[in-house]
Amino acid sequence: MATNMWSLFRWVPKQRALAAVEEKLMSHHGSAMWVFDLKQSYRPGSAISANAWLVAYDFDQTAEINIKTRQHIDFESEGFRGEAHHPADIIVKENEQGAYGIGRMRQGITKMHVTARFATKKEVAKALGLNEKEVADGYRPGRTWPT
């Protein structure tokens, strides 16, 4: 993990994971890109992490402040009309603390302030709620774990 950077994570299907790292912060399905903070309580379920690699996004301070404080819309609010209708917003959910849906337009602006990489074994273990020794090799992108 980069020092003095705020990191968010996303499980990406293995066939799209390398492109996700190379493109930095772009959704592969053209809508909001959902990421989560390992320091918060929310974790995606096993259906999302199965057959996927964990991509880490290390944000500079500008992006961190922007994502945490600007132009949020609550997924449960009356004003929310679906991800595609909020391309400039950060979508949040009260019941999923630490999950952020970064709108499509917001992704392009924010990617100037982010570095993408494959997560370390320690980060994968935390995302899965496991001890590092319990993490299967199938979660490792390549022959060795990133450091």
37-50 pLDDT per residue, tens: 999 999 999 999 99
Provide the strand spans (E) within the chain. 6-13, 33-36, 52-59, 72-74, 90-92, 99-102, 114-118
pLDDT at residue 1 tops 60: no
In sequence order, the 6+-apart residues with CB closer than 8 A to the CB of 77 are none
Q: φ and ψ at 70, to 5 degrees?
A: -115, 135
Contact 32, 91 (CB under 8 A): yes
Report pLDDT for 28.
67
- Ramachandran quadrant class, 19 (left: phi over 0; alpha: psi -120 to 50; beta: rest): alpha
Task: Indicate yes or no: pTM above 0.95.
Answer: no
